[in-house]
């Protein structure tokens, strides 16, 4: 059951102020802008919706759930599975660096034991140890990812604050849908069809100049 405290904890962990360095990563969006795949609010919305529904959003949601269900002695293995599924070096780094930062800060402030793990697995584990509502954790995580991508887009192209927040608001139902649709999903449900997003994250490695690390 969701309590107000759950919401307060998640609002802290998934806020841009939580020191994960999320502002430095774009999941390949910077390349998608450079390639002309994303040029305005409408194309940004399509791109982000696709990655939520068919790519990293959906698979991260599953990894949060698996991290939540996982016993302590199986976490290292789950972490390896998460890394094996990541499509590119920069996506691996993004998950690893943000995960390490999340574990460090959260272990210290919530007094829980969190060995270094990739971000979605670590969030699932922390949610379990803190007794947070899992559906809410997944949905808020997805919305934080959308927010971060929109904020990245605003640094990459002409996109007003209101337009950007319109994209976030418009994708709210999809965040909920994916959070619910990934209930009960297992490792075999890790698949992706966001091919161009994966390819963009690979191609981003050689993009110059660039603002983001992915």
Partner 1 sequence: MPRADGQGWLSVKARDGQSVLDRFRTRGALKMLFPVRTPRAEAILINTAGGLTGGDRLQLSVEVQAGAHLTMTTQAAERVYRAREDTARVTSDITVGAGAHLSWLPQELIVYEGGALDRRLAIDLDASASLLMVEPVIFGRRAMAETLRAGHLSDRIRVSRAGRPLYLDGTELHGDIAATLARRALGQGAGAMASLLYVAPDAGAHLDALRAALRAALPATGGASLLAPDTLALRCLAEDGFALRAALLPILDRLSRDTLPASWRL
Restricting to residues 75-104, name those near partner 1 by CB under 8 A.
Answer: 77, 80-81, 83-90, 92
Decide if residue 183 touches partner 1 (CB under 8 A): no
Decide if residue 205 touches partner 1 (CB under 8 A): yes
Decide if residue 197 touches partner 1 (CB under 8 A): yes
Q: Which is nearer to partner 1, 24 or 202 (CB)?
A: 202
Decide if residue 193 touches partner 1 (CB under 8 A): yes
Decide if residue 69 touches partner 1 (CB under 8 A): no
Q: How far is the CB of 99 from partner 1 (least distance, A)?
A: 16
Distance of alpha carbon 43 from alpha carbon 171, whole angstroms: 13
Restricting to residues 21-50, name those near partner 1 by CB under 8 A.
Answer: 32, 35, 37-38, 43, 46-47, 50
Is there a contact between 115 and 138 (Cβ–Cβ < 8 Å)? no
Counting Cβ atoms within 10 Å, is residue 169 exposed (0-12), middle (13-18) or buried (19+)?
exposed
Distance of alpha carbon 135 from alpha carbon 52, whole angstroms: 16
Distances (CA, A) of 120 to 64, 102, 123, 128: 5, 10, 5, 12
Contact residues: partner 1, CB under 8 A: 32, 35, 37-38, 43, 46-47, 50-51, 54-55, 77, 80-81, 83-90, 92, 188, 190-203, 205-206
């Amino acid at each position: 059951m969701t309590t107000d405290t759950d919401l307060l904890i998640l609002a802290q962990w998934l806020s841009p102020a939580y020191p994960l360095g999320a502002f430095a990563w774009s999941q390949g969006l910077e390349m998608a802008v450079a390639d002309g795949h994303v040029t305005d609010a409408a194309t940004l919305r399509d791109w982000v919706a696709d990655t939520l529904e068919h790519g990293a959003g959906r698979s991260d949601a599953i990894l949060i759930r698996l991290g939540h269900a996982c016993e302590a002695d199986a976490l290292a293995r789950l972490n390896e599975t998460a890394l094996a599924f990541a499509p590119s070096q920069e996506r691996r780094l993004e998950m690893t660096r943000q995960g390490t930062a999340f574990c460090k800060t959260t272990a210290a402030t919530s007094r829980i034991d969190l060995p270094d793990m990739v971000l979605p697995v670590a969030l699932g584990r922390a949610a379990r140890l803190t007794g947070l509502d899992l559906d809410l954790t997944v949905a808020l995580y997805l919305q934080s990812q959308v927010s971060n991508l929109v904020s990245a887009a605003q640094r990459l192209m002409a996109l007003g604050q209101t337009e950007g927040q319109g994209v976030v608001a418009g994708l709210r139902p999809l965040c909920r849908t994916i959070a619910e649709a990934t209930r009960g999903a297992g490792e075999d449900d890790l698949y992706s069809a966001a091919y161009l997003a994966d390819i963009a994250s690979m191609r981003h490695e050689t993009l110059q100049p660039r603002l983001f690390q992915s």
